[in-house]
Structure 1
Amino acid sequence: MLVEDVFKRPYYEYLNDIIKRMVGESMTINEVIVQELKDWQNSETRRKMLVGEAYYLETTDIQKEKTQEISWKSNIKLEHGFAKKLVNQKVGYLLSKEPTIATENEAYAEQLKEIINRDFLKKLKNIGKEAINKGIGYLYVYIDEEEKLAFKKLPSEQILPFWKDAEHTEVSSFIRSYKEKVYVNKIKKTVEKVEYHHPGGIDYFILEGNKLVPDDAAGHSVNYHILINEKPFLWKRIPLIPFKYNEEEQPLIDSIKSLIDNYNLQASTNADVLADIPNFIYKLINYGGVDLKEFLEDLRIYRTIKLDEGGDLDKLQATPETDAAEKELERDRKSIYEFGRGVDTTDSNLGNASGVALRYRYSDLDMDCNNLESEFHSSLEHLMWFVNEYLDMKGLGDFSNESVEFIFNRDIIISESEVITDAKNSVGILDDKTIRENHPWYTKDVEERLAEQKKLEMDQYDNYETTFKKKQGDVNGETT
């Protein structure tokens, strides 16, 4: 059987024995979990995950670092959503279109349509965003209330994985920690829940200080992963699938944070200068009024002012120098898109670029998405193991030896006019269907519409031919 026997001593018990020997009899498994969890929550890796999400949500360090000591001065804090734009650009480029799932087994293909549905594809797109923002995303496999295979995206900062290998390809067990609002004695409070997922099932706790106490509401612990027809099963693999942004699990924000911070600071400082310096400054000589407030009121209401003998009024033009700041902002912007491996769509030359030039400008984005696609293929192969196991458990077929391929249909930017011209020039060299399939406006509906159009033309031709023959017969009859 492809799932572990629930009555067999599970692997995690042997793992616990090893941990006990490592830490000594005086330290329990729960104490080890607490210590590992505390280390994870204070780790640099987790901190970067939170930073990546914050910058995607346009909450950058400019909000807490830039302050003015002088009260009357402006303290403008400008946010620029470079991180969000770059992340959405990569996700949209690779994952916006529905992927093609290729398999030669038609029965298998029908089953996959039920599982790899629109809801799953939406989760796949969101897991891509999570992976780019945080370096890695996690998809949890479970059975829903209708006893169907389902997937849930878990926030990466909640997950402390224990890997089977140095390359981080498969999880041997993991801890999940998250905060939840509950009612205790009719009082609403926030508790920190901890789940330990291991090969022998799941243990549920609540963290109180430095101690784990059983979570009564969740049921303490269970010796299974899933229930099918109320029968408990253990997966032979931990049902947590990692989706990496790159091999190093390095988030995008690592490459561009300092550049975004400098851009926000320079733009905000420049805005402060423009806000604090007026358009012009009045120069008064022998002013005959009481104070400057009276001067401004007279000027505003009466358009006149009082001057003593020999008095005069002049104004000095205030023209702050912002050229250096603008050049610095321009350099920063170019660096953000270069090292973020994206495309600056505000480039004035982008709209007139030829097909070759467009491919060159999108080359960094394309290469970065190549790496992302490679990581996702590995993860999807892992996911298909669970799909095949589920289909076998439900008696829907054994497809473990069937091959399946996910083909990502990228949202490639092209010069439509050049492609159409190339299509016209290919007439007589390639067959008509191949030419149509490479046309930028081609969809699957085109073939059906062409068939309908051809049928309509044939019907019109038949009607014309019938009418013509009838009239010809009438003419011949009159003649005779």
Structure 2
Amino acid sequence: MINIYLPNEKPYGERITESIKPRYESQEEMIVRLINDHKQNIEDITIGQRYYDKKNDVLNLNPKLDVDGKVDPDKPDWRITTNFHQNLVDQKVGYTVGNPVTLSCDKEGVVDELHEVFNTRWDNKLIDILTAASNKGIEWLQPYIDEEGEFKLFRVPAEQAIPIWTDKEREKLQAFIRYYKLNDEEKVEYWTDTEVTYYVKEYEQLIPDYYHGENNVQPHFNGGNWGKVPFIPFKNNPEEISDIHMYKTIVDAIDKRLSDTQNMFDESTELIYVLKGYEGEKLDQFMKNLKYYKAINVDSEGNSGVDTIKVEVPMQSTKEYLEMMRAYLMEFGQAVDFQTDKFGNSPSGIALKFLYGNLDLKANKLRNKTHVALQELLEFVIQHFNLNVSVKDIEITFNYNRMMNELEQSQIGAQSQYLSKETLVTNHPWVKDPHAEIERIDAEQMEYNEQLPSIGEGLNGKQQSEDNDPR
């Protein structure tokens, strides 16, 4: 066999070598590929948020059809949605950070500086972030410096976030892509540890976005950068998945059973007609004649006629089924069932620990991930405010919003003579803000000390009384 080559054609061996050679993407090609992959996952990311907003799958079920396969507008078709997912998420988040997270440090003045950022507004933002993380599996926070040089925080929804990690542990960011739509434009931001590049996505291509200036590549802020990718992940759990996946099928089953039961109730007000001797007459024609004329024809021999059957709703079995599914929901959702009567009206501390056992397991995962995220956020705060302190020097305390036996808790505190004032104040059931309470205690102690006579005054008074003693 003779190989014939065209004049400008590469040899066969070179063509094979080039075909198996790895092809390297440009930065823009990589970003477009990652965005397209991310779009396919948005439904999975937002399913928990959809259920939180009571847009359950029962609303998307096919409508009821008649015998001809057409939609029957007269057929009862209830779509009852429950808010179990919202209740369980709110319970976990409220339990974990319903009482504000407190920061403490032994170095003087540091806590006051931190309170400039971690104030009441931050407490509300943290609740929103962890609620979103519970719904989506993860939510992002971006620290930035505005045009006036003020330190600010911006929450980035998970559906807009495409992280690029340095390793499989997903602990350190190599880069970060933010993709969102603004005024019918697809905006893309590509962040590294030193700069951000702004793009507009059109026809699967990235073009520079000059809305941000003549140069679409800019530093993190005016005059510098953070030295690291400025996005902080707030993870719901190690798997970074929504709570809804723990019990979604149970919620769907409850919604469907409630809807079917309501449909059955509506149908039970109507009668089922049993026709005798009407084989040749269509059912729809029979119903029209009955509704219009309020009468039916029967033959002279009485061989035709109509009997009726009333629909019976199986209430007892439905009630038992819903109670069983609710118990499964509380167990698989790791929630506290406040409707239980197992522990009485005033349970002791031990009984409450058993009651909150499952919720503790779920909340501890959220707390551990949030603790790591707060430490990352503190690094940005320390860097911006140039605080002479390390993250390790700042203690982060989560004050679980647990129902407790206040009398029992107060008695324990009163009998604890060898614990620090900070520990006693933090664990007292009446204290909502331990830092502020300690400041009030110190102020009252100083005022009390000022009212006492000094040591010198006391000795002088004693000496004068001895000199005036006639003995």
TM-score category by the smaller chain? 0.7 to 0.9
Quick one: distance in 1 between partners of 2:57 and 2:416?
A: 61
- Alpha-carbon offset, residue 200 of structure 1: 3.4
Instruction: Quickly say closer, same or farther: Cα 1:152–1:435, change in 2 above 3 A.
Output: closer
Instruction: Quickly say closer, same or farther: Cα 1:385–1:423, change in 2 above 3 A.
Output: closer
Instruction: Quickly say closer, same or farther: Cα 1:75–1:66, change in 2 above 3 A.
Output: same
Q: Which AA in structure 2 matches 1:237?
A: K
Q: Which AA in structure 2 matches 1:194?
A: V
Instruction: Quickly say closer, same or farther: Cα 1:93–1:402, change in 2 above 3 A.
Output: closer
Aligned partner of 2:172 among 165, 170, 173: 170
Map of 1:38-117 to 2, 5 A cutoff? 38-43=36-41, 46-70=42-66, 71=72, 72-117=74-119
Q: Is 1:411 matched up with 2:401? A: yes
Normalised TM-score (structure 2): 0.75
CA-to-aligned-CA distance 1:221-280 (integer Å, 9 cap, x gap) = 2331012xxxx2121110001111111112111111111111111111111111112177
Quick one: distance in 2 between partners of 1:176 and 1:103?
A: 35
In structure 2, the residue corresponding to 1:367 is in which secondary structure? helix
Map of 1:390-401 to 2, 5 A cutoff? 390-392=384-386, 397-400=387-390
- Alpha-carbon offset, residue 315 of structure 1: 8.0
Q: Which AA in structure 2 matches 1:104?
A: D
Map of 1:113-124 to 2, 5 A cutoff? 113-124=115-126
Map of 1:245-324 to 2, 5 A cutoff? 245-278=236-269, 291-292=290-291, 295=294, 318-324=311-317
Aligned partner of 1:374 among 348, 364, 368: 368
For 2:327, the equivalent position in structure 1 comes to 334
Q: Which AA in structure 1 matches 2:229?
A: I
For 2:318, the equivalent position in structure 1 comes to 325
Quick one: distance in 2 between partners of 1:82 and 1:191?
A: 37
Q: Is contact 1:391–1:398 with CA below 8 Å preserved after alignment?
A: no
Q: Is contact 2:137–2:242 with CA below 8 Å preserved after alignment?
A: yes
Q: Is 1:347 matched up with 2:340? A: yes
For 1:37, the equivalent position in structure 2 comes to 35
- Root-mean-square deviation (Å): 3.6
Quick one: distance in 2 between partners of 1:102 and 1:161?
A: 32
For 2:429, the equivalent position in structure 1 comes to 440
In structure 2, the residue corresponding to 1:106 is in which secondary structure? coil
Quick one: distance in 2 between partners of 1:193 and 1:129?
A: 26
Quick one: distance in 2 between partners of 1:126 and 1:79?
A: 23
In structure 2, the residue corresponding to 1:226 is in which secondary structure? coil
Q: Which AA in structure 2 matches 1:38?
A: N
Aligned partner of 1:221 among 216, 236, 260: 216
Instruction: Quickly say closer, same or farther: Cα 1:328–1:38, change in 2 above 3 A.
Output: same
Structure 2 stretches lacking a partner, 5+ long: 1-20, 67-71, 277-288, 452-471
- Alpha-carbon offset, residue 144 of structure 1: 2.2
Instruction: Quickly say closer, same or farther: Cα 1:209–1:105, change in 2 above 3 A.
Output: same
Q: Is contact 1:423–1:438 with CA below 8 Å preserved after alignment?
A: no
Q: Is contact 2:129–2:139 with CA below 8 Å preserved after alignment?
A: yes
Quick one: distance in 1 between partners of 2:115 and 2:368?
A: 23
What is the percent sequence identity of the aligned residues? 29
- Alpha-carbon offset, residue 407 of structure 1: 0.3
In structure 1, the residue corresponding to 2:247 is in which secondary structure? helix
In structure 2, the residue corresponding to 1:243 is in which secondary structure? strand
- Alpha-carbon offset, residue 333 of structure 1: 1.3
Instruction: Quickly say closer, same or farther: Cα 1:436–1:115, change in 2 above 3 A.
Output: closer
Map of 1:104-253 to 2, 5 A cutoff? 104-181=106-183, 190-219=184-213, 221-227=216-222, 232-253=223-244
Aligned residue-pair number: 396
Structure 1 stretches lacking a partner, 5+ long: 1-20, 182-189, 297-307, 459-480
Quick one: distance in 2 between partners of 1:233 and 1:428?
A: 51
Quick one: distance in 2 between partners of 1:213 and 1:42?
A: 23
